[in-house]
Amino acid sequence: MTAMKFRIPAALQLEHAELHDRLVKATKEPGAVGEAAREVARLLHPHFVREEQFALPPLALLAPLARREFDPAMADVLPMTQRLRTELPAMLREHRRIVAALALLRETARIASLAEYESFARALIQHAETEEQVLYPAAILVGEEVARLLEKETM
């Protein structure tokens, strides 16, 4: 039996890609704005990689579970959701460092009258808040629901 694949929902993939593209553009700016953007990129890249490994793929099961569709192969998501639960404190610490770097980028962009990057920094801070308040908890709940359904099925 092959492992079940969990594709990050397309809307989240698109949002990450757009944020990445905007960040790449900011890193090419000269001076303090470019420096601040490069620091954000340095902190953000490994965080995005980790999210895409185990924090966001479980969200692929939200819609099927909401429709009460269950397949025992969904159990393949459990190592990811357990890893997220375990690593959540570290991921939140990463968010605090990223948000601090974004605050510097926002202020630097404001001083340089580069509203595009000031707006980008605000959008990425809001994205981090959405992850903390909605996406990470939803992914953990996916794991809990899959475990509950698996247990129910084996009774």
How far is C-alpha 58 from the chain's CA centre? 12
Q: What is the pLDDT of residue 1?
A: 46
pTM for the whole structure: 0.92
Q: What is the pLDDT of residue 155?
A: 76
pLDDT at residue 70 above 70?
yes
DSSP string of 80-125, one letter each residue = HHHHHHHHHHHHHHHHHHHHHHHHHHHHHHHHTT-HHHHHHHHHHH
User: What is the average pLDDT across 62-70?
Assistant: 96
Q: What is the pLDDT of residues 122-137, one digit of tens each?
A: 999 999 999 999 999 9
pLDDT band at residue 2 under the 50/70/90 scheme:
low
Q: What is the pLDDT of residue 153?
A: 85
pLDDT at residue 143 above 90?
yes
Largest Cα separation within the chain, whole Å, is 64
Q: How far apart are CA 115 and CA 112, in angstroms?
A: 8
What are the residue boundaries of the structural domains of the chain, listed by start? 10-56+72-154
